[in-house]
Amino acid sequence: MSSFLDDEFFLDTKAGRRLYTESAADLPIFDYHCHLSPQAIADDAPFADIAEIWLGGDHYKWRIMRADGVPEEFVSGRGDRGEKFVAYAKALQRAAGNPLLAWSHLELRRAYGIEDILTPESALRIRERANSVMRERGDTPRRLMERFGVAVVCTTDDPADDLASHRQLAKDPMMATKVLPAFRPDRIMNIGDPTAWKAYAKILGEAAGIEIRRWADIVKALDLRHAFFHEAGCRVSDHALFVPEYVLASESELDGTIAKLLSGDLPDQKAQAAFRTAVLLEAARLDARRGWAMQLHISALRNVRGRFFDYYGPDGGGDSITDLPIIGPLALFLDSLDREGKLPKTILYSLDLTKNDALVALAGSFCGSGGTGPNEAARVQVGAAWWFNDQKDGMTRHLESLASIGLVGRFLGMLTDSRSFLSYPRHEYFRRLLCGWVGRAVERGELPDDDAYTGAIVRAISWGNASTWFGIEPPAWALERASKVVPLI
């Protein structure tokens, strides 16, 4: 019988253990989507308390604590950190099957060398040990990223951001990790609240040096800010979509929608959908022009509990999954860009696991040149199992879809999608699961026990594909460390 999180965790075959040890474990990390604060990385202030790092904004942990009946004061509120830490330990005892059980213990082991099991009885002792190690080493955001071998990080940034922190980091010769922005224009797309939209349009316009009164102003403002991000090293955009939409409107109709918004009136549903479609199409064209990758995060039903949203606001753990159709309008959206010759490299994500097969099939339809366009490998693909799905079952089902319908060897691999600097063992979790999955196929005789079919795929998915596909040059130390990586040709 295996022990908890031992060396064979997820590695139940000899082939899987060999693959992990030889082809995955020591590779750098390319974290192409996260929500880390670039200002926190630039400031690089020492950490003081693991309770703050773990519970200071992690809605994954907050959700299981609320499900366990923990008062909000000790979840997202101002309760004592020690009591919060104990409350989380209590909830974790009931979290069998939840990835937090493995993630939390992997973080304790990999960051602080603590192999004790987290329980309510051991919680305060573990907290003090972690804090003692933290203080002794002088842990900071940069040092933790270096400890975990993080080569590249793409944060999530508003188009109006001045990117001051990113520019500071880019000039720092001591930075081991390349930290780049990602362009996320959600706020100009979200027009459900005219007052909030008008306020943001003013902010975006000021950042671009334009007064936004018409559709042409938005197009110009987005272009100017996109160019500004490009100069700062940005090579990827990111978009949060409830569901994809494809409703077309003329420029005069879009001008009318903007006039309504500026006067404080809410456009009708069709006009809202047309406006969102227009913004997303324009953003995609900018990505194509400058050679960026576009990420579409789909099927998140956000802020479902109004009373909680009124209390906390967004990103507090009050989100769910929608099962609404997405494939039809998404196909029209991608096809319209492809017909223009302006379909950028694209990553599709869906929270609804039932859409995996359909998304993989759809992505494959837009790969290859089609006789006219660019012919980059895996130009359109399905991204990592995301949010509620970045756990054993979700990742396995995702890999099965990629393998059976698409080309799994071109998959870009894991990302953290996290706000925590301790979250990088999630990459180990994924790499172990990947190697276990490949190893079992070898043991069943479904894959040749040949490095070209196994080790090369593991290395490519764990690091090699992402390190080349985005057009972002990793740091020299990471290239040297990953010298054994052989991306598929």
Q: What is the CATH number of the domain that holds 202?
A: 3.20.20.140
Last residue in a domain, options 97, 117, 139: 139
The continuous run of DSSP H or E covering 215 comes out as helix 215-231
pLDDT for res 483? 84
pLDDT for res 318? 85
Do residue 121 and residue 152 come from a single domain?
no
Do residue 256 and residue 127 come from a single domain?
no
| Terminal-residue alpha carbon distance, the chain | 40
Do residue 283 and residue 332 come from a single domain?
yes
SS3 400: helix
| CA gap 310, 330 in Å, rounded | 32
| CA gap 489, 473 in Å, rounded | 18
- 428 CB contacts (<8 Å, ≥6 apart)? 25, 106, 110
Residue 450 lies in a domain: yes
Cβ atoms < 10 Å from Cβ of 162: 11
Residue 37 lies in a domain: no
Residue 488 lies in a domain: no
Beta strands 300-301 and 320-321 are antiparallel
pLDDT for res 329? 97
Write out the residue range of the structural domain in which residue 131 sits. 48-139
| CA gap 234, 183 in Å, rounded | 7
The token pair that represents 346 in the structure block? 């694209």
Q: How far is CA 380 from the centre of its chain?
A: 17
Residue 33 lies in a domain: no
CA diameter of the chain: 69
pLDDT for res 2? 84
Last residue in a domain, options 91, 119, 139: 139
Do residue 120 and residue 187 come from a single domain?
no
The continuous run of DSSP H or E covering 345 comes out as strand 345-350
Ramachandran quadrant class, 366 (left: phi over 0; alpha: psi -120 to 50; beta: rest) = alpha
Do residue 75 and residue 134 come from a single domain?
yes
Residue 34 lies in a domain: no
177 touches 150 (CB < 8 A) = yes
Place of tokens 């007064």: 211
| CA gap 458, 78 in Å, rounded | 44
Sheet holding 345-350, edge to edge: 236-241, 293-298, 345-350, 380-382
- 130 CB contacts (<8 Å, ≥6 apart)? 50, 108, 111, 112, 114
Residue 27 lies in a domain: no
Do residue 224 and residue 162 come from a single domain?
yes
pLDDT for res 374? 62
Do residue 84 and residue 220 come from a single domain?
no
Q: Residue 62: name the closest of 37, 41, 79, 45 by CA.
A: 79
- 34 CB contacts (<8 Å, ≥6 apart)? 153, 154, 155, 156, 415, 416, 417, 418, 419, 423
Residue 383 lies in a domain: yes
**Burial class of 32 by CB neighbour count within 10 A (0 to 12, 13 to 18, 19+):** buried
Q: What is the CATH number of the domain that holds 129?
A: 1.10.2020.10
Do residue 255 and residue 210 come from a single domain?
yes
Do residue 56 and residue 185 come from a single domain?
no
SS3 320: strand
Do residue 131 and residue 255 come from a single domain?
no
Residue 444 lies in a domain: yes
Last residue in a domain, options 114, 139, 164: 139
325 touches 246 (CB < 8 A) = no
Can you give the pLDDT of all 489 residues of the chain as single tens digits?
789 999 999 999 999 999 999 999 999 999 999 999 999 999 999 999 999 999 998 989 999 999 999 999 999 999 999 999 999 999 999 999 999 999 999 999 999 999 999 999 999 999 999 999 999 999 999 999 999 999 999 999 999 999 999 999 999 999 999 999 999 999 999 999 999 999 999 999 999 999 999 999 999 999 999 999 999 999 999 999 999 999 999 999 999 999 999 999 999 999 999 999 999 999 999 999 999 999 999 999 998 888 888 877 887 788 899 999 999 999 999 999 999 999 999 999 999 999 999 999 999 999 987 655 566 889 999 999 999 999 999 999 999 999 999 999 999 999 999 999 999 999 999 999 999 999 999 999 999 999 999 999 999 999 999 999 999 999 999 999 998 655 443
Do residue 265 and residue 296 come from a single domain?
yes
SS3 107: helix
Q: How many domains does the chain have?
A: 2
| CA gap 1, 430 in Å, rounded | 22
Do residue 103 and residue 243 come from a single domain?
no
